[in-house]
Chain A
């Protein structure tokens, strides 16, 4: 018993020490984590013998990945962290946002998946509105359900959406004289949001010279334009963050937190909880739609395989790692999950398999070639690790990294009574 206690105190001291070192500054925490991830990627890139352009590209890829997770984890935090809505249909809402934006922006001649050819900003708005409506339609009946039923309904819905997109019957259809379509199993092609990097390089004064300078150092133009898109994604994450922080600290946000803590109490206090839940569900879904388009749809081509239920679970796990209820935690979780658990193992598998012909099956690998087999098959092992980590987190650290900072439903902390106040009360009663 005493051994357990001392172990706990040691752990707590270590955690506080780390906390003091990093400080409570959220931005510093995120920067520190990113710096660590970058150092690791640079080290791995140097080990793999990458030139400078390759290393910069690796850093770009890992940042894009982290930003994509950041957007979606923040949106999910609005549902699960703030309001306690167990939505595991994220993939479906991402798919709606991506596909509607794609169809609206794709020119009628672009195959597969012809569209309306609207300007991209209008298409993005249309995609977000469509996702919000889809969210509303889901939430209207589903929010009356128990949490586990909501989970099953949302995951089933995301599969319905994905299968419908994949279905040949929606691949091309005519609506009011216009031929539209999802492209079915062949996927959909549309103007790539990522191409904005190229447009910025050409139009913004000074960017062209910067690109030339970068090319002289070994960073070629595709990597340079990719970097510009990366900055746009990071800026979007910042916008998401500030919007959600504002919502969270508003009176509206306090009702959301009250719903999470105890819906009955919130409705007893005269709040129409259904309206609040509907609004936040629709808004979170719109953010998911935008996030899906900007991240998974960045290359101008996407198919149904990007929206399988696994991606929902990964976003959820990232949120749990970071700590549900904390926005900074959402970003930290997104970075940690996407880089350390997802990107780095993949990078190792691609660049360090060494052996020219790794064994094709585990049976062949047992006879001496087990290490190359493990390195080439790091993909499945990484998911095993993620699964075990998830179980560990639920058992031991259900709050994740920053879940203890879950914001209170009340505007002031009601957990502790000010000392002087209680003394006054005692004196009064006696």
Chain B
């Protein structure tokens, strides 16, 4: 290595660190500000806790959806702008199947399948319907992803990243407006409100419990009316929800965590993961080393498609509503998560998703509600400028 080169590298490292240090200082200042606001009573602890929980739930969804984007980005070397609309495909296909099964016999198959009728599904009333819907979301999204790869990306496999990116914009438009054509463009409610689980204070008793959507804590005379309650301590305060989370959000957290663990094991313990890492690193070298690149690409779409479809289904389960372009609107957040974590790293995608989810929800402390999204996108731009390789850059895991 020449002297000049070494000096150049050193310079890069210093400016790299400078940016990182600046960001770290800013984050510390913000955390200090939250603490001081908490101590002076400007904001309440339950409020901060609730936005943190919301940020984690949404962030896990971004992370789950981001794994697929990260994999296609590193293995096929292009930014897939159709990824957001693939989430929508997963959500609509999964919920169509769930409605068709859950509302069987109540009204016509057509209006159920197109989500016009509301059979009233929630995780409590129709557990197996939700699970079946989740599985169908995965299966249908995988089928759609493989078909699109065959028709769109396979013929131009060796083209530049930008050509593939433009093609993916075409796929995105096709997905989004096919859904709009069949399902219409209105926002619709999908799930019934679910019970909440959390920390409650009821008539002087503080404990962990479950509350039904039609129950109001202030009107309860005793904790016996709640489906479940475990007293921890007692207080003289009024009846209130201290911390809570809907069961739908719990399902999202549990399923997303299990799927992430599954992907981790799959990629760490099998040859497939090694082959994927090899392809992400150097496609030609992988090919001459005897790695069946086309088969690996197919596996990438299968794993990525399944995770993306399920993420879409779970996001709708959590939010309770859907719309033909909700996935497209999530796309930039997911790009932000993936780039923040480092393209190609699934742990990066997960960590990035959590950070973006938290930024988006915590920013409400400082910014007016219309500008929290701006904060999330600003994080994306800052990361691309300061540390384009991402937090986990260099440690590609899949």
Residues of A within 8 A of B (CB): 86, 141-142, 145-149, 151-153, 155-157, 159-160, 163-164, 166-169, 313, 316-317, 320, 360-364, 366, 377, 379-384, 386-391, 394-395, 398
Closest to B79 in A: A148
Answer whether residue B36 sits at the interface, using C-beta atoms and an 8 A cutoff: no
A366 neighbours in B (Cβ, 8 Å): 110
B167 neighbours in A (Cβ, 8 Å): 390-391, 394-395
Instruction: Tell me the bound Cα distance from A168 to B185 in angstroms.
Output: 26
Given A86-B162, A149-B388, A391-B167, residue A163 in contact with residue B173 (CB < 8 A): no
Q: How far is the CB of B16 from chain A (nearest CB, A)?
A: 14
Answer whether residue B255 sits at the interface, using C-beta atoms and an 8 A cutoff: no
15 A-B pairs besides A363-B111, A363-B114, A390-B166 with CB distance below 8 A are: A86-B162, A86-B165, A141-B385, A148-B165, A149-B388, A163-B377, A168-B370, A360-B184, A361-B116, A363-B108, A383-B176, A387-B169, A387-B171, A387-B175, A391-B170
Instruction: Tell me the bound Cα distance from A416 to B356 in angstroms.
Output: 54
A156 neighbours in B (Cβ, 8 Å): 332, 335-336, 377, 380-381
Given A148-B165, A156-B377, residue A384 in contact with residue B368 (CB < 8 A): no
Residues of B within 8 A of A (CB): 78-79, 108, 110-111, 113-114, 116, 152, 155-156, 159, 161-163, 165-167, 169-178, 180-185, 332, 335-336, 339, 368, 370-371, 373-374, 377-378, 380-381, 384-385, 388
Closest to A366 in B: B110
Q: How far is the CB of B243 from chain A (nearest CB, A)?
A: 30
| Pairwise interchain contact A384-B181, C-beta atoms closer than 8 A | yes
Query: 8 closest pairs, A vs B, by CB?
Result: A387-B173, A390-B170, A387-B174, A167-B370, A363-B110, A383-B177, A391-B170, A380-B180
Q: How far is the CB of A22 from chain B (nearest CB, A)?
A: 27
| Pairwise interchain contact A395-B384, C-beta atoms closer than 8 A | no
A164 neighbours in B (Cβ, 8 Å): 371, 374
B79 neighbours in A (Cβ, 8 Å): 148, 151-152
Main secondary structure of the interface of A (DSSP, over half): helix
Closest to B328 in A: A309
Given A384-B181, A387-B174, residue A313 in contact with residue B368 (CB < 8 A): no
Q: How far is the CB of A404 from chain B (nearest CB, A)?
A: 16
Given A157-B381, A391-B167, residue A313 in contact with residue B173 (CB < 8 A): yes
Closest to A171 in B: B370
Closest to A138 in B: B381
Instruction: Tell me the bound Cα distance from A163 to B385 in angstroms.
Output: 21
| Pairwise interchain contact B370-A163, C-beta atoms closer than 8 A | yes
Q: How far is the CB of B156 from chain A (nearest CB, A)?
A: 6
A147 neighbours in B (Cβ, 8 Å): 161-162
Closest to B339 in A: A152
Q: Total number of A-B contacts with CB less than 8 angstroms?
A: 140
Task: State which of B163, B184, B332 has its C-beta within 8 Å of the C-beta of A362.
Answer: B184
Instruction: Tell me the bound Cα distance from A164 to B373 in angstroms.
Output: 10
| Interface CB pairs A-B, < 8 A, 15 | A148-B165, A149-B388, A152-B339, A156-B336, A156-B380, A160-B374, A163-B370, A167-B371, A313-B169, A364-B111, A387-B169, A387-B170, A387-B173, A390-B169, A391-B174
| Pairwise interchain contact B174-A388, C-beta atoms closer than 8 A | yes
Task: State which of B166, B335, B373 has its C-beta within 8 Å of the C-beta of A394.
Answer: B166
Instruction: Tell me the bound Cα distance from A377 to B159 in angstroms.
Output: 35
A153 neighbours in B (Cβ, 8 Å): 380-381, 384
Q: How far is the CB of A148 from chain B (nearest CB, A)?
A: 5
Q: How far is the CB of A263 from chain B (nearest CB, A)?
A: 14
Instruction: Tell me the bound Cα distance from A350 to B156 in angstroms.
Output: 38
Q: How far is the CB of B97 from chain A (nearest CB, A)?
A: 16
A145 neighbours in B (Cβ, 8 Å): 384, 388
Instruction: Tell me the bound Cα distance from A30 to B280 in angstroms.
Output: 46
Q: How far is the CB of A6 from chain B (nearest CB, A)?
A: 21
B374 neighbours in A (Cβ, 8 Å): 160, 163-164, 167
- In the complex, which of the residues A156, A164, A377, A398 has the most CB atoms of chain B within 10 Å of its own CB atom? A156
Task: State which of B108, B162, B185, B384 has its C-beta within 8 Å of the C-beta of A380.
Answer: B185
Instruction: Tell me the bound Cα distance from A231 to B166 in angstroms.
Output: 33
Q: How far is the CB of A153 from chain B (nearest CB, A)?
A: 6
Q: How far is the CB of A104 from chain B (nearest CB, A)?
A: 24
Given A384-B174, A387-B174, residue A362 in contact with residue B182 (CB < 8 A): yes
| Pairwise interchain contact A159-B377, C-beta atoms closer than 8 A | yes
Closest to B373 in A: A163
B184 neighbours in A (Cβ, 8 Å): 360-362
Q: How far is the CB of B209 from chain A (nearest CB, A)?
A: 38
Given A149-B388, A155-B332, residue A169 in contact with residue B370 (CB < 8 A): yes
- In the complex, which of the residues A159, A164, A166, A320 has the most CB atoms of chain B within 10 Å of its own CB atom? A159
Q: How far is the CB of A187 from chain B (nearest CB, A)?
A: 15
- In the complex, which of the residues A151, A159, A167, A387 has the most CB atoms of chain B within 10 Å of its own CB atom? A387
A389 neighbours in B (Cβ, 8 Å): 170
Q: How far is the CB of A168 from chain B (nearest CB, A)?
A: 6
- In the complex, which of the residues B78, B174, B339, B378 has the most CB atoms of chain A within 10 Å of its own CB atom? B174
Instruction: Tell me the bound Cα distance from A196 to B165 in angstroms.
Output: 41
B155 neighbours in A (Cβ, 8 Å): 395
| Pairwise interchain contact B162-A152, C-beta atoms closer than 8 A | no
Q: How far is the CB of B333 from chain A (nearest CB, A)?
A: 10
Given A86-B162, A152-B79, A394-B167, residue A384 in contact with residue B178 (CB < 8 A): yes
B152 neighbours in A (Cβ, 8 Å): 391, 395
A142 neighbours in B (Cβ, 8 Å): 385
Q: How far is the CB of B72 from chain A (nearest CB, A)?
A: 12
Given A152-B335, A313-B173, A377-B181, residue A394 in contact with residue B384 (CB < 8 A): no
Closest to B111 in A: A363
| Pairwise interchain contact B370-A166, C-beta atoms closer than 8 A | yes
Given A363-B108, A394-B166, residue A387 in contact with residue B172 (CB < 8 A): yes
Instruction: Tell me the bound Cα distance from A262 to B165 in angstroms.
Output: 20
Q: How far is the CB of B290 from chain A (nearest CB, A)?
A: 29
B177 neighbours in A (Cβ, 8 Å): 380-384, 387
| Pairwise interchain contact B174-A394, C-beta atoms closer than 8 A | no
B172 neighbours in A (Cβ, 8 Å): 387
| Pairwise interchain contact A159-B332, C-beta atoms closer than 8 A | yes
Closest to B184 in A: A361
Q: How far is the CB of B278 from chain A (nearest CB, A)?
A: 22
Given A160-B377, A169-B371, residue A362 in contact with residue B183 (CB < 8 A): yes
Instruction: Tell me the bound Cα distance from A398 to B156 in angstroms.
Output: 11
Task: State which of A361, A380, A383 has its C-beta within 8 Å of the C-beta of B111.
Answer: A361
Q: How far is the CB of B396 from chain A (nearest CB, A)?
A: 16
A146 neighbours in B (Cβ, 8 Å): 388
Closest to B380 in A: A156
Instruction: Tell me the bound Cα distance from A163 to B371 in angstroms.
Output: 7
A155 neighbours in B (Cβ, 8 Å): 332
Q: How far is the CB of A248 from chain B (nearest CB, A)?
A: 21
| Pairwise interchain contact A383-B173, C-beta atoms closer than 8 A | yes
A384 neighbours in B (Cβ, 8 Å): 173-174, 177-178, 181
Instruction: Tell me the bound Cα distance from A390 to B175 in angstroms.
Output: 13
B162 neighbours in A (Cβ, 8 Å): 86, 147-148, 151
A317 neighbours in B (Cβ, 8 Å): 169
| Pairwise interchain contact B378-A160, C-beta atoms closer than 8 A | yes
Task: State which of A151, A381, A394 has its C-beta within 8 Å of the C-beta of B163.
Answer: A394
A168 neighbours in B (Cβ, 8 Å): 368, 370
Instruction: Tell me the bound Cα distance from A167 to B373 in angstroms.
Output: 11
Q: How far is the CB of A328 from chain B (nearest CB, A)?
A: 21
| Pairwise interchain contact A151-B165, C-beta atoms closer than 8 A | yes
Given A149-B388, A151-B79, residue A169 in contact with residue B377 (CB < 8 A): no
